[in-house]
Chains A and B, each alone.
Chain A
Amino acid sequence: MKAIKKFFRFDNIGYIFVLPAFLYMMFFVGYPIFSNLMLSLRDVNMRNIKTGIQPFVGFENYVVLFTRDSVLTDALINTLIFTVASIVFQFIIGFGLALILNKTFTLAKPIRGILMVPWMIPITVTALMFKFIFGTDVGILNYILNALGLISENIDWLTNPFTAKIALIITNIWIGIPFNMILIATGLTTIPKEMYESAAIDGANKLQTFKNITLPLLKPTIESVLILGFIYTFKVYDLVWVMTSGGPVNSTHMLSTYSYKLSFEMFKYSEGASVANVLFVILLFVSLIYLKVVYKEERT
Chain B
Amino acid sequence: MMNLSNQPNTGGIMKKLFALLMVSVIMGTMFAGCSKNEPTKEQTDSVDNTTTTDGSSETETMTEVTNVTVWYYWEAEGHQKTLNKVIDDFNTLQKGVSVEAKYVPFTDFKKQLSIGASADELPDIVILDNPDHAAYASMGIFADITGEFDVSNYYAGPVNSATIDGKLYGVPFGSNCLALFYNDDMLQAAGVEVPTTWEELEAVAAATTTDNVYGLAFSSLQNEEGTFNFLPWVWSTGASSYEINSEGGIKALKFIKGLVDAGSMPVEAINWTQGDTKNQFISGNLAMMINGTWQVPSMRSDVPDMNWNVAMIPQDKEQASGLGGENFAVIAGGQEEASLEFLKYVTQPEVNLFMMNNMGYISPNMATADGQFGDDSVYQVFVDELEFAKSRGPLPEWPQVSDAISLAFNEVIVDISSPEVAAEKAQKTIDSIIGQ
Contacts and interface: CB of A to CB of B under 8 A. Distances in A.
Interface of A: 10, 13, 20, 24, 46-47, 49-51, 135-137, 156, 158-161, 245, 247-251, 264-268
Interface stretch (B110-118, B169-177, B298-306): B110-118
B407 A46 contact: no
B284 interface: no
Interface string B20-50: 0000000100100000000000000000000
A245 B139 contact: no
A249 B267 contact: no
B410 A46 contact: no
Contacts, number: 71
A120 to B, nearest CB: 25
A248 B30 contact: no
B321 to A, nearest CB: 25
B267 A267 contact: no
Nearest to A44: B118
Nearest to B31: A24
A218 to B, nearest CB: 36
Nearest to B33: A28
21 contacts: A46-B396, A47-B139, A49-B114, A49-B117, A50-B117, A50-B140, A135-B268, A136-B268, A137-B266, A159-B268, A159-B271, A159-B414, A160-B414, A248-B270, A249-B222, A249-B414, A265-B110, A265-B399, A265-B403, A266-B403, A267-B114
B411 interface: yes
A51, A135, A247, A268: most-surrounded residue (chain B CB, <10 A): A247
A249 B407 contact: yes
A24 B396 CA distance: 40
B426 to A, nearest CB: 11
A247 B222 contact: yes
B293 interface: no
A262 B384 CA distance: 38
B245 interface: no
A248 B409 CA distance: 11
A10 B6 CA distance: 11
A247 B30 contact: no
A20 to B, nearest CB: 7
B83 interface: no
B240 interface: no
B222 A266 contact: no
B411 A50 contact: no
Nearest to A267: B114
Given A46-B135, A47-B396, A248 B410 contact: yes
Contacts of B4: 10, 13
Nearest to B417: A249
Interface in B127-181: 135, 138-141
B57 interface: no
B43 to A, nearest CB: 25
A194 B410 CA distance: 62
Nearest to B135: A46
A68 B26 CA distance: 49
Contacts of A10: 4
Interface of B: 4, 27, 30, 110-111, 114, 117-118, 135, 138-141, 222-223, 266-268, 270-271, 396, 399-400, 403, 407, 410-411, 414, 416
Contact of A47 (B27, B138, B222): B138
Contacts of B139: 46-47, 49-50
B407 A159 contact: no
A245 B135 contact: no
B413 to A, nearest CB: 8
A137 B403 CA distance: 27
Contacts of A46: 114, 135, 139, 396
Given A248-B414, A249-B414, A159 B270 contact: yes
A10 B411 CA distance: 67
Contact of B222 (A24, A136, A245): A245
Q: Which 9 A-B residue pairs are closest in the complex by CB-CB distance?
A: A264-B111, A159-B267, A49-B118, A248-B414, A249-B411, A249-B410, A136-B268, A247-B222, A249-B416
A153 B392 CA distance: 39
B84 to A, nearest CB: 28
Contact of B399 (A247, A248, A267): A267
Given A46-B114, A248-B410, 11 more contacts: A10-B4, A46-B396, A47-B396, A156-B268, A159-B270, A245-B222, A248-B270, A249-B414, A266-B399, A266-B400, A267-B110
A264 B271 CA distance: 20
A252 to B, nearest CB: 12
Contacts of B271: 158-159
Contacts of A13: 4
B267 A247 contact: no
Contacts of B30: 24
Contacts of B266: 136-137
Contacts of A245: 222
Contacts of B114: 46, 49, 264, 267
B27 A20 contact: yes
A137 B140 contact: no
A158 B272 CA distance: 12
Nearest to A48: B139
Nearest to A136: B268
A7 B348 CA distance: 75
A136 to B, nearest CB: 5
A71 to B, nearest CB: 10
Contact of B223 (A51, A158, A248, A265): A265
A298 B111 CA distance: 46
Contacts of B407: 249-250
